[in-house]
């Protein structure tokens, strides 16, 4: 919105220089022009009255009148924008459970993996390609749609020693 105001101000300055008119008159015209969605001008919303311009107007119109509909119009516009935003924006991140098949990103490459456990704001995942366990943020995880190629490889427990897997439990018993 700030960029739009700067753009409009520059246009007003350019046109006033080109026509040889005073920029303050053009600025006054802009501020007294009613906005389409509000049915009130900027001056009416700020000062609760119309200002005297070069255009003739009735004296009754210049008397102060509080614009009560402006707040309601802005609230309706905000609801419409929120509805549109809700349709376009991403949903809340998925919550994964232990054993869910996912795809994780490592250095711009997506690899199939399985969720091992959940940390505070991230997940421990085990890749199928090398059976290593990594910690990944929710932004680096997607649900898997492909069927993974399960290879029963041994894991390296030093990466996450507190977690025991089926292959480790068999060797300990």
Tell me which CATH code domain 91-150 carries: 2.30.30.140
Q: Is 47 in contact with 66 (CB distance < 8 Å)?
A: no
Domain regions of the chain by residue span: 2-88, 91-150
Kindly tell me if the per-residue pLDDT of 159 is higher than 50: no
Residue 16's pLDDT band (cuts 50, 70, 90): very high
Residue-level pLDDT at 120: 80
Q: Could you give phi then psi for residue 89, rounded to 5 degrees?
A: -75, 165
DSSP-derived 3-state class of residue 110? strand
DSSP helix/strand/coil, 123 = strand
Q: Could you give the angle at the alpha carbon of 165 between the alpha carbons of 164 and 168, nearest 5°?
A: 80
| pLDDT tens-digit map of 47-81 | 787 787 777 777 777 787 777 888 888 899 899 98
């Amino acid at each position: 919105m700030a960029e739009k105001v700067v753009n409009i101000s520059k246009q007003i300055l350019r046109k006033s220089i080109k026509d040889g008119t005073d920029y303050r008159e053009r600025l006054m015209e802009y501020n007294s022009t009613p906005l389409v969605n509000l049915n009130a001008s900027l001056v009416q919303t700020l000062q609760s009255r119309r200002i005297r311009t070069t255009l003739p107007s009735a004296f009754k119109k210049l008397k102060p009148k509080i614009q009560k509909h402006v707040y309601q119009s802005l609230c309706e516009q905000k609801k419409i924008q929120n509805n549109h935003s809700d349709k376009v924006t991403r949903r809340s991140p998925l919550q994964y459970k232990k054993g869910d098949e996912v795809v994780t990103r490592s250095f711009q490459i997506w690899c199939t993996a399985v969720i091992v456990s959940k940390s505070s704001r991230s997940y421990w995942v085990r890749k199928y390609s090398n059976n290593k366990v990594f910690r990944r943020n929710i932004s680096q995880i997607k649900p898997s749609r492909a069927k993974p190629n399960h290879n029963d490889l041994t894991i390296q427990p030093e990466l996450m020693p507190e977690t025991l897997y089926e292959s480790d439990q068999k060797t300990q018993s």
